[in-house]
Chains A and B, each alone.
Chain A
Amino acid sequence: MTQSPSRTLSGPGLYRRMAGASILAQLRYPGTFVIQAIGNFVTTLLSFFGIWSLFHRFGSIAGWDIGTVAVLYGLVNVAFAVAETLGRGFEVFGGEYVRTGSFDRLLLRPRSTLLLLLGHELRLRPIGRFLQGLFVLAAGLWLAPHVQWSAVLVLPWAIAGGAAMFLGVLIGQAALCFITVEGLEVVNVLTYGGVEAGQYPLTMFGRWLRRFITFVLPLAAVCYYPTLFSLAHPDPLGMPTWIGALSPVAGFAFLGVMILAWNRAVAGYVSSGS
């Protein structure tokens, strides 16, 4: 049987097709979508109200002005929302693919398993977190002193790095499912817990936590240093400010390491059978 070349989809074409189908499916229930998106928006916005209340009572967040903290907060939330939108397939990987054995079917397809899982669902719900993150980010840029013009370039670059890092965490979580079968909720410490830790300036934490979110999970590289660079804020810990323009690359490096781990894990996959 011959197939005309135009019928064979390239990788990006296939992804577009899958993403489009997923979006249409979610819009079939517009009421549910709107309620979930609003719930997501309100929940995340309220969490900023908590930080603002601390600032209001103590006059600063450990010596940091509210503008800088808002930029940090917005940055990490927008980055995580992007990863949440793209990486749903990895989040549900254990329960829906490994346990049921339907991962075997993905392996039969002549495309990268990563691409197929990215196409599992393009989730729209995180748009609530995304929008409120942008909103807080804009407010932070409005309030912060010394905003640099270079922020126009550095902040999107940092968001991309952050999204890559969080996507890496989700891929790593999925790779672990080959061993644990069911997803490990402990990994939420790195995703939701990462967002929680990323929204505060690095200086507020003890040394062990600072080291963890700098060298193990490069959270500081995608949030803290780019924020300092964009706002021309000197680092109280003594790192040069220019590092923030380069550091988001660590997010992509983390993603790369996780993809390598994924490929190793897939190579050793034994189906759970059915």
Chain B
Amino acid sequence: MSLRPYLTAFGLQWKIGLRYRIAVVAGLVAQMWFGAVTLMAYASVYHAAPDVQAPLSLRQAMTYTWIQQSLFTLLPLGCLPAIGDAARTGAIVYDLLRPVDMWNWWLSASLARLLGNAVPRAVLLACVAGPLAMLVGLGAWSLAGPASLISATLALVSIALGALLSATIVMWWNILTARTLSPLGSYAVGTPLAVLLSGMLLPLPLYPDWIRPFLLAQPFAGITDIPIRIYLGTPIPGGVATGLGLQVFWLAALTLLGRLWMRQTVNRLEVQGA
């Protein structure tokens, strides 16, 4: 089996993600704005209740928010746009005809699309929210460094797993799109789920205590929440191993079930168009 077709699919989508430089700058401004509004809100909530022992300190909540903002485009918000178009026009049959494993083919494209969007934005925002904010005297609002060198290394491993997990969830949206022949459903379902369950809306550790175990155990936590917790060194029940274990578990489970679902969908796929 040659890896080359998958690398080509990856390279193509990666370049598409990098091409829109103005969109990257526009996204940066939007993320700074949302980051600033959220940070000020958290700061005044924390300051108004100084004796509440929250699972995250204010400084940690701020760092959490910045990393979350910078990784926004890594979230599985919907299907891969190219597959949405292909499903609508009927061009999806070409993908079926290719002598490649379709799961890996789509997965490499989805992963590249996520990374091509997220990596430049994340690096830019990390520079602005980290060193640059320190320099202009906003150190108290900036992105704090990792808890230790070990946690930084483990967080890198974890974020790589998180990206792969996100691409696997995008695969589920892709199959949904192939099934319903429209990308709209995947966005309608994917965006709210991803925004809430990944911790984009509110850091997962800050939700009410009774719901926190469920929030940690669901697959979306593995995309950004677990890597950020490892980075911050906040305790995860059972330690870092639980975090990484959950990521690997969801990766395996979603891949196996997804492949099954894909086979079933492809077998009964009805294509529109002539």
Contacts and interface: CB of A to CB of B under 8 A. Distances in A.
A197 B37 contact: yes
Contacts of A47: 201
Chain A, interface SS category = helix
Interface in A18-48: 32, 35-36, 38-39, 42-43, 46-47
Nearest to A210: B40
A185 B40 contact: no
Nearest to A197: B37
Contact of A185 (B30, B38, B185): B30
B41 A193 contact: no
Contact of B191 (A38, A39, A204, A209): A39
B134 interface: no
Contact of B26 (A56, A186, A209): A186
B54 interface: yes
Determine the interface band of chain A, counting residues with CB < 8 A from chain B.
35 or more
Given A39-B188, A46-B196, A205-B37, A54 B206 contact: yes
A149 interface: no
B99 interface: no
Given A36-B188, A189-B33, A196-B37, A54 B202 contact: yes
Nearest to A40: B188
A36 to B, nearest CB: 6
B188 A62 contact: no
Interface in B93-111: none
A204 B191 CA distance: 28
Contacts of A58: 45-46, 48-49, 52, 54
Interface string B31-49: 0011011101100111111
Contacts of B37: 193, 196-197, 200, 205, 209
A60 interface: yes
A57 B41 contact: no
Contacts of A145: none
A110 interface: no
A59 interface: yes
B160 interface: no
A32 B184 contact: yes
Given A54-B202, A57-B52, A58-B52, A206 B30 contact: no
Interface string B57-69: 0000000000000
B166 interface: no
Contacts of A185: 23, 26-27, 30
B87 to A, nearest CB: 14
A57 B206 contact: yes
A243 interface: no
Contact of A62 (B27, B45, B201): B45
Interface string A57-68: 111111100000
Contact of A39 (B27, B47, B192, B202): B192
B208 A57 contact: yes
A56 B52 contact: no
B49 A50 contact: no
Nearest to A38: B188
A188 interface: yes
Contacts of A186: 26, 29-30
Given A39-B189, A50-B196, A61-B45, 6 more contacts: A53-B208, A57-B52, A58-B54, A185-B23, A189-B33, A205-B44
10 contacts: A35-B184, A38-B188, A54-B45, A58-B46, A58-B54, A63-B48, A185-B23, A186-B29, A204-B45, A205-B37
Q: Lowest 5 A-B CB distances belong to which pairs?
A: A39-B188, A62-B44, A50-B202, A204-B44, A43-B192
